[in-house]
Amino acid sequence: MPSDLADLARYAAALDAAELARGHLDGRIDAEETQWLAFLRRCDLDTRAQDFALLEHSEHLADDCQALTAGRTGLDRVWSYLDNCLTGTPSPEGRQEFLLDRAASGQGMDWTSDGALMGTDRPEEVDAALDRADPKAGIALIGLAVTHPDPANILPRVARGLAADDPDLVHQATVALGQTARLHGIVDRTCLDLLRRLPRGNEADDDLWTFVPRRRLPWWLWRHQLLRLPGR
């Protein structure tokens, strides 16, 4: 099981390979955690991930880390930021630099790869994609629903998708809502209000009915589902 610091690094920063290598050389993360994070970042970046692939499969990790960090300075700054996050004093400047700016510029994910986006696990990547109206924002939204462990970080982004003018994005947000129901058994009022505006029989209706406790579901979904029963 990864340490708190390694787990936080997965969600709170879009590390580059040299920063990851620096963390290992400084003893902040062990070899197993380094290669686990390298695997995740390789999946994020897909075709632009040669250095992460090197770390992931390295048989001489310390040597390869030394090579990646040679001539680079300031690589420990992201780890200081993550340390502060763990102690409850995160730096807004660090979050902007190591997460938000990298998400906005495309350094966090490979936006040319549907496969990479289906593993999106940083909500800020979806925010940035929705802000710039990226045509693959909906794929990343589904990826977030499948990957992220906390529905509180998923549902507000699903709501943004459901409220969009783009019918493809609305459809993908509906799929993401259904996946969230399947995995977490939960929905929120905002998403339900937006879902109500859509035609019944969409991808989310049955998943909500099946996986969310029915006492938490609105009357209009009850009515739709009960009217579908045989003999009605």
For the four alpha carbons of 92, 95, 97 and 101, in that order, the dihedral sign comes to negative
The pLDDT of residue 230 is above 70: no
Element (H, E) at 110: none
Residues 6+ apart with CB under 8 A from 30: 3, 24
The reported pLDDT for the residue numbered 4 is: 95
Percent of the chain exceeding pLDDT 70 equals 98
Cα angle 218, 224, 229; round to 5: 125
Global confidence as pTM: 0.89
* pLDDT tens digits along 52-78: 999 999 999 999 999 999 999 999 999
The reported pLDDT for the residue numbered 90 is: 87
Do 61 and 25 form a contact (C-beta atoms < 8 A)? no
CA distance 34 to 32: 5
Do 144 and 126 form a contact (C-beta atoms < 8 A)? yes
- Give, as one character, the DSSP assignment of residue 133: T
Residue range 21-29: mean pLDDT, rounded = 97
* pLDDT tens digits along 98-133: 999 999 998 999 999 999 999 999 999 999 999 999
* pLDDT tens digits along 211-222: 999 999 999 999
Residue appearing with tokens 């990851």: 20
* pLDDT tens digits along 171-211: 999 999 999 999 999 999 999 999 999 999 898 999 999 99
The reported pLDDT for the residue numbered 151 is: 97
Q: How far is CA 40 from the centre of its chain?
A: 11
For the four alpha carbons of 124, 127, 132 and 133, in that order, the dihedral sign comes to positive
In this prediction, residue 2 has a pLDDT band, given cuts at 50, 70 and 90, of confident
Q: Give the type of residue at 126.
A: V
Tokens read off for 176: 């993401």
